[in-house]
Structure 1
Amino acid sequence: MLDGHYDGHYDVRGSGPLLLVIPGGAGHPMGLDGAVARLSERFTVVTYDPLGLSRGPLVGPVEDQRVEVWSDRAHQLLDSLLPDGESAHVFGSSSGGIVALDLLARHPERLGRVVAHEPPSIGVLPDAARQHAMITEVHEIYRAEGVAAAAARLGAGLEGRSWEPGPRPASAVADGGESARNTQNTPMDIFLGHVLRPFTSHALDLDALKGLSSRLTLGAGSDSRGQLPFRTVALLAELSGGDFVEFPGGHLGVLQHPVAFADRLTEAL
């Protein structure tokens, strides 16, 4: 089953029905070991690493990432792993959830059930313009001040907290922010600089998802109630007709409560 020609980055654990896991952030599978170990008791878990970040920092400049490219490569990966006529389940969280939804909309032929946990597809929201402006502000703060300041602004935006910018570091004022940024292509740099804006701006094919709603589950963390990710997912479930399921923890529930999260995911599948 694992003799295909896909030349990207992935890891395989366990046995049973194939489950493709698409991580959030910049696609680095860090922190997923606990959940994957639990899931591998029931599934052949294929953890997709779209940029190969688990093998070390990327060398050279990184371009803005595209949802369609990640999902096309995931489709390619499944074709290389699955025997003819067989399908796989898919789980994606956060930015990986957006990829999972795009994969279902455009390549449903190899898929069983798809579970998307808190995909930040904010374009469906009535206040989408305000939320896109918040994401743009996060990106601008990242460019000017680096990861820590941008992550603080993003956290406030996701949780619906008020946020007041602090004074810019003197180094950022002097050099336009270059010294404030980590330029080593770390996962957070790639996420804030090249994934967050294009992925949250990606327009889902809701018509396609409606036609595939019997295979779709939208999930949100119980600790995310009242926050932007929960609101987005609840509306997505309503618009697509997919199931809605609550998971343990918040936006990072798969990292915070790996065993309980994996058990809830197994039930959803």
Structure 2
Amino acid sequence: MTANPATSSTAHTLRIPGATLHYEVRGDGPLVVLVGAPMDATSFEPLADQLGTDHTVLTTDPRGINRSTLDDPEQDSTPQLRADDLSRLLAHLDAGPAAVLGSSGGAVSALALAQAHPEQVHTVVAHEPPLDDLLEDSEQLHAQTDDIIATYLAGDVTGAWAAFMEQAGIALPADAIEDMFGGERDPQQVTDERFWFAHELRATTRWRPDLSALRAASTRIVVGIGEESAGQLCDRTARALAAELDLEPEMFPGGHIGFVEQTEPFAARLRAVLHGG
């Protein structure tokens, strides 16, 4: 158990076919699940601590990332598999229906969960899901993604990240990319990064939601966008999803990782959204 000023968390593992999932539970109250891909439970700790004062908060490392290990490390991570993992976690905890905040690839996981298991989820807040397939230039984006993956797997890490940031519409100078992704790095970070490029990025960005199923589901769908994400790729994909579902996007503080950049106001906005505000 890890203590902090706001809440305390307990860490657990769940054995499922082909994998062992790491998950953490903190707080007390209505259940909220915070999920990323490739972001792990650690990325959501500050937000989980904020929400844990009046919610039960479930966080997890997605399959193949950090402490959630695969029997076959070369197995691809698809939104469908990650949704099934979340479903198994909720069933194991005998909890739900839950509210789920998914960010980036985790938003795709959350949408896949609502699509496959709507009875387990009463609300999905899909924060900037990278659903490239919903855009008119999807073929070009898919080709760019294939090139980015090939660049990374060929050993050009900073080149792959530079191309990824350019595609995402996130402006970073070359020296900043070199500082972030060149030189000595944490081995686990490198392992997770390789898994994301090799086994997760393509399947996540090419997943196309069943829009009819999402419209018909009992689950309330909220599409979230960062106030500082205007013009970025995930701003475009989130707006495309909202338009397909005839929804008005909800704006959140910060950018693509606003829950890290501006945790307290992000938590306040999420609470308001979950309460229908």
For residues 213 and 87 of structure 1, the distance between their equivalents in structure 2, rounded to whole angstroms, comes to 11
From 238, 250, 260, the equivalent of 2:265 is: 260
TM-score (norm 1): 0.83
In the TM superposition, residue 29 of structure 1 has moved relative to its aligned partner by 2.2
Deviates more, 1:114-123 or 1:249-258: 249-258
1:53–1:129 distance in 2 versus 1, CA, 3 Å: closer
Q: For residues 73 and 88 of structure 1, what CA distance do their matches in structure 2 show?
A: 14
Aligned residue number for residue 32 of structure 2: 19
Structure 1 residue aligned with 2:118, among 104, 108, 114? Answer: 108
Give me the whole-angstrom Cα distance separating, in 2, the residues matched to 1:126 and 1:223: 23
Using the size of structure 2 for normalisation, the TM-score is: 0.80
Report what 1:188 is aligned to: 193
CA distance in structure 2 between the partners assigned to 1:200 and 1:72 by the alignment: 18
More strand by share: 2
The structural deviation recorded for 1:50 is 2.5
CA distance in 2, matches of 1:196, 1:126: 19
1:88 maps to 2:101? no
2:6 match: none
SS at match of 1:224: coil
Stretches of structure 2 that go unaligned for 5 or more consecutive residues are 1-9, 16-20, 175-186
Residue 99 of structure 1 corresponds to which residue in structure 2?
109
Deviation at 1:251, TM superposition (A): 1.1
Whole-angstrom CA distance in 2 between matches of 1:52 and 1:13: 23
Kindly provide the amino acid, as one letter, of the partner of residue 196 in structure 2: F
Q: Name the CA distance, whole Å, in 1 between partners of 2:218 and 2:129.
A: 16
The number of residues matched between the two structures is 247
- Amino acid in structure 1 at the alignment position of 2:108: I
Identity of aligned residues (%): 34
Query: Are 2:64 and 2:192, in contact at CA under 8 Å, matched by a contact in 1?
Result: no
Q: Which residue of 2 aligns with 1:169?
A: none
The offset of 1:56, in angstroms, is: 8.2
Verify the 8 A CA contact 1:67 1:98 in the aligned structure 2.
Answer: yes
Amino acid at match of 1:75: S
RMSD over aligned Cα, in angstroms?
2.9
Q: 2:132 aligned to 112, 116, 122, which one?
A: 122
Return the alpha-carbon distance in structure 1 between the equivalents of residues 116 and 70 of structure 2.
29
Partner of 1:223, secondary structure, is coil
Matched with 1:74 is: 86
Residue of structure 2 in register with 1:37 after alignment:
49
Q: Deviations over 1:123-154 (max 9, x none)?
A: 01111111111211110111113433212111
Cα distance in structure 2, aligned partners of 1:188 and 1:249: 24
Residue 192 of structure 1 and its aligned partner are, at CA, apart by 1.5
Distance in structure 2 (CA, Å) of the matches to 1:42 and 1:49: 23
Distance in 1 of aligned mates of 2:189 and 2:34:
26
- Asked if 1 retains the 8 angstrom alpha-carbon contact of 2:124 and 2:222, the reply is yes
Deviation at 1:196, TM superposition (A): 0.6
1:52 Cα offset (Å): 6.5
Whichever residue aligns with residue 66 of structure 1, its letter is: T
Where do 5+ consecutive residues of structure 1 fail to align? 165-181
| C-alpha distance in structure 2 between counterparts of 1:53 and 1:239, whole Å | 31
Amino acid in structure 2 at the alignment position of 1:51: R
Report the CA distance between 1:250 and its aligned residue.
1.2
Deviation at 1:62, TM superposition (A): 2.7
SS of corresponding position for 1:31: helix
Task: Tell me which residue corresponds to 1:48.
Answer: 60
CA distance in 2, matches of 1:184, 1:256: 20
Question: Displacement, 1:31?
Answer: 2.6
The answer (yes or no) to whether the contact 2:23–2:41 under 8 Å persists in 1 is no
Which one of the candidate residues 242, 246, 251 is aligned to 1:241?
246
Alignment deviations for residues 64-104 of structure 1 (CA, whole Å, 9 cap, x no partner):
21111110111111112235xx4111111001000000100
- Counterpart code for 2:75: E
